[in-house]
Amino acid sequence: MRGEYSWRDLQYFTPVNAFPEAQGSYGLVNAAIGYMSPDEHWQAIIFGRNLADEEYITSSGSFTARPAGHVGEPRTWGVRLSYTY
């Protein structure tokens, strides 16, 4: 089992620390649980990222009259299977 929490405080995306090209503080919660076979050849992991479904941006740019940004990853679930031989 694994749990993670990360916090980001107010971030500016310009050298002069100007709004609106900024992101307010937010926290991200990730978790995973896995199983490894007794012979340690295969493994299954179920994971979730951004479990609180926080909306945030990771970068910004003013290329038009309206600022635009790169949106952070939304809530994501998945299963990872691996085999080692």
> pLDDT, tens digit, for every residue of 12-52?
888 888 777 888 999 999 999 999 999 999 999 999 999 99
Task: Name residue, tokens 């926290």.
Answer: 27
Task: Name residue, tokens 């990360």.
Answer: 6
- C-alpha atoms less than 13 angstroms from C-alpha of 78 in its C-beta half-sphere: 8
> pLDDT, tens digit, for every residue of 43-60?
999 999 999 999 998 887
Task: Name residue, tokens 């299954």.
Answer: 44
| Tokens standing for residue 12 | 């500016």
Q: Is the pLDDT of residue 2 over 90?
A: yes
Q: Name the DSSP letter for residue 85.
A: -
Q: Are 45 and 32 in contact (CB under 8 A)?
A: yes
Helices (H) and strands (E) in the chain, counts: 0, 8
